[in-house]
Amino acid sequence: MSVYLAYFYAAFAGALANVQVGADLKLFRGLVNPALTAVVILLAGLVVTVTALVVWSFASNVNIPGRVALAAIPWWAWTGGALQGLTILAVFITAGRAGAAMFSALTVTGGAICSLALDHYGLVGFEQHSISWSRALAALLLISGTLLMAR
Protein backbone atom coordinates (compact mmCIF):
# COMPACT_ATOMS: atom_id res chain seq x y z
CA MET A 1 0.00 0.00 0.00
CA SER A 2 1.39 3.40 -0.91
CA VAL A 3 1.98 5.95 1.82
CA TYR A 4 -0.51 8.34 0.17
CA LEU A 5 -3.23 5.71 0.14
CA ALA A 6 -2.48 5.00 3.81
CA TYR A 7 -2.74 8.74 4.61
CA PHE A 8 -6.04 8.98 2.74
CA TYR A 9 -7.39 5.98 4.62
CA ALA A 10 -6.34 7.50 7.97
CA ALA A 11 -8.05 10.81 7.10
CA PHE A 12 -11.15 8.93 5.97
CA ALA A 13 -11.18 6.96 9.23
CA GLY A 14 -10.85 10.23 11.15
CA ALA A 15 -13.87 11.62 9.34
CA LEU A 16 -15.84 8.45 10.05
CA ALA A 17 -14.82 8.69 13.71
CA ASN A 18 -17.04 11.75 14.07
CA VAL A 19 -19.95 9.92 12.45
CA GLN A 20 -19.28 7.01 14.81
CA VAL A 21 -19.40 9.34 17.82
CA GLY A 22 -22.83 10.57 16.74
CA ALA A 23 -24.13 7.05 16.14
CA ASP A 24 -22.72 5.83 19.47
CA LEU A 25 -24.27 8.77 21.29
CA LYS A 26 -27.68 8.20 19.68
CA LEU A 27 -27.51 4.51 20.63
CA PHE A 28 -26.56 5.47 24.20
CA ARG A 29 -29.52 7.85 24.44
CA GLY A 30 -31.82 5.00 23.38
CA LEU A 31 -30.30 2.30 25.57
CA VAL A 32 -29.51 4.70 28.47
CA ASN A 33 -27.02 2.27 30.04
CA PRO A 34 -23.41 3.20 29.12
CA ALA A 35 -22.01 -0.30 29.76
CA LEU A 36 -24.74 -1.98 27.67
CA THR A 37 -24.21 0.52 24.88
CA ALA A 38 -20.45 -0.11 24.90
CA VAL A 39 -21.03 -3.88 24.75
CA VAL A 40 -23.39 -3.50 21.76
CA ILE A 41 -20.87 -1.24 19.98
CA LEU A 42 -17.97 -3.60 20.65
CA LEU A 43 -20.01 -6.62 19.53
CA ALA A 44 -20.84 -4.86 16.26
CA GLY A 45 -17.14 -4.12 15.85
CA LEU A 46 -16.35 -7.77 16.57
CA VAL A 47 -18.69 -8.90 13.79
CA VAL A 48 -17.00 -6.53 11.33
CA THR A 49 -13.48 -7.54 12.34
CA VAL A 50 -14.21 -11.28 12.31
CA THR A 51 -15.62 -10.85 8.80
CA ALA A 52 -12.47 -8.95 7.83
CA LEU A 53 -10.35 -11.71 9.39
CA VAL A 54 -12.07 -14.37 7.30
CA VAL A 55 -11.79 -12.33 4.10
CA TRP A 56 -8.16 -11.38 4.82
CA SER A 57 -7.23 -14.98 5.64
CA PHE A 58 -8.60 -16.26 2.33
CA ALA A 59 -7.30 -13.36 0.26
CA SER A 60 -3.76 -13.31 1.64
CA ASN A 61 -3.16 -16.93 2.70
CA VAL A 62 -1.93 -15.69 6.08
CA ASN A 63 -2.52 -18.10 8.95
CA ILE A 64 -3.45 -17.23 12.50
CA PRO A 65 -0.27 -17.16 14.63
CA GLY A 66 0.55 -20.13 16.83
CA ARG A 67 1.06 -20.31 20.57
CA VAL A 68 4.77 -19.42 20.45
CA ALA A 69 4.17 -16.31 18.34
CA LEU A 70 1.28 -15.22 20.60
CA ALA A 71 3.40 -15.71 23.73
CA ALA A 72 6.12 -13.45 22.26
CA ILE A 73 3.74 -10.47 22.10
CA PRO A 74 4.30 -8.05 25.04
CA TRP A 75 1.52 -7.85 27.64
CA TRP A 76 0.72 -4.21 26.90
CA ALA A 77 -0.03 -5.00 23.25
CA TRP A 78 -3.19 -6.80 24.41
CA THR A 79 -4.68 -3.68 26.06
CA GLY A 80 -6.07 -2.08 22.87
CA GLY A 81 -9.58 -3.47 23.33
CA ALA A 82 -9.75 -2.16 26.89
CA LEU A 83 -8.53 1.24 25.73
CA GLN A 84 -11.19 1.22 22.99
CA GLY A 85 -13.81 0.57 25.67
CA LEU A 86 -12.59 3.61 27.61
CA THR A 87 -12.75 5.68 24.42
CA ILE A 88 -16.36 4.63 23.85
CA LEU A 89 -17.27 5.64 27.40
CA ALA A 90 -15.63 9.04 26.81
CA VAL A 91 -18.19 9.61 24.03
CA PHE A 92 -21.04 9.24 26.52
CA ILE A 93 -19.39 11.46 29.11
CA THR A 94 -18.23 14.28 26.82
CA ALA A 95 -19.70 14.33 23.32
CA GLY A 96 -23.34 14.67 24.38
CA ARG A 97 -22.56 17.80 26.36
CA ALA A 98 -19.75 19.33 24.32
CA GLY A 99 -20.84 18.45 20.78
CA ALA A 100 -19.02 16.72 17.95
CA ALA A 101 -16.60 19.55 17.15
CA MET A 102 -15.43 20.01 20.74
CA PHE A 103 -15.19 16.26 21.32
CA SER A 104 -13.15 15.88 18.15
CA ALA A 105 -10.88 18.79 19.10
CA LEU A 106 -10.27 17.30 22.54
CA THR A 107 -9.54 13.81 21.25
CA VAL A 108 -7.30 15.01 18.42
CA THR A 109 -5.37 17.37 20.70
CA GLY A 110 -5.03 14.78 23.44
CA GLY A 111 -3.95 12.20 20.88
CA ALA A 112 -1.40 14.52 19.31
CA ILE A 113 0.16 15.42 22.66
CA CYS A 114 0.36 11.75 23.69
CA SER A 115 1.77 10.89 20.25
CA LEU A 116 4.58 13.39 20.67
CA ALA A 117 5.71 11.56 23.79
CA LEU A 118 5.26 8.12 22.21
CA ASP A 119 7.31 9.18 19.18
CA HIS A 120 9.97 11.07 21.14
CA TYR A 121 10.73 8.11 23.38
CA GLY A 122 9.89 5.36 20.87
CA LEU A 123 7.31 3.81 23.19
CA VAL A 124 4.78 1.00 22.59
CA GLY A 125 6.32 -0.12 19.33
CA PHE A 126 6.68 3.24 17.56
CA GLU A 127 9.96 4.22 15.98
CA GLN A 128 11.73 7.06 17.76
CA HIS A 129 11.10 10.52 16.26
CA SER A 130 12.41 13.41 18.35
CA ILE A 131 10.17 16.34 19.15
CA SER A 132 11.09 19.18 16.81
CA TRP A 133 10.16 22.82 17.08
CA SER A 134 7.58 22.37 14.31
CA ARG A 135 5.93 19.43 16.09
CA ALA A 136 5.88 21.34 19.37
CA LEU A 137 4.40 24.37 17.62
CA ALA A 138 1.75 22.19 15.98
CA ALA A 139 0.78 20.82 19.41
CA LEU A 140 0.55 24.35 20.80
CA LEU A 141 -1.66 25.35 17.86
CA LEU A 142 -3.91 22.37 18.52
CA ILE A 143 -4.17 23.34 22.20
CA SER A 144 -4.91 26.94 21.21
CA GLY A 145 -7.54 25.84 18.70
CA THR A 146 -9.20 23.60 21.27
CA LEU A 147 -9.28 26.45 23.78
CA LEU A 148 -10.79 28.76 21.16
CA MET A 149 -13.40 26.15 20.30
CA ALA A 150 -14.32 25.86 23.98
CA ARG A 151 -15.23 29.56 24.15
Domain ranges, ordered by start, for the chain = 1-98, 99-151
d(CA 130, CA 136): 10
pLDDT band at 85 (very low <50, low <70, confident <90, very high): confident
What pLDDT, on a 0 to 100 scale, did the predictor assign at position 114? 94
Q: Give the mean pLDDT of 58-82.
A: 89
What pLDDT, on a 0 to 100 scale, did the predictor assign at position 36? 95
What pLDDT, on a 0 to 100 scale, did the predictor assign at position 6? 87
Closest C-alpha to 34, from 72, 91, 73: 91
Specify which of 91-95, 101-105, 132-136 reaches the highest per-range mean pLDDT.
Answer: 132-136
Give the chain's end-to-end CA distance (angstroms, integer).
41
What pLDDT, on a 0 to 100 scale, did the predictor assign at position 87? 87
Question: Which string of b and e fits 108-127 if b means at least 16 CB within 10 Å?
Answer: ebeeeeeebebbeeeeeeee
d(CA 79, CA 94): 23
* Mean pLDDT taken over the chain: 91
In residues, how long is the chain? 151
pLDDT band at 16 (very low <50, low <70, confident <90, very high): confident
> pTM of this prediction?
0.74
What pLDDT, on a 0 to 100 scale, did the predictor assign at position 81? 86
What pLDDT, on a 0 to 100 scale, did the predictor assign at position 56? 87
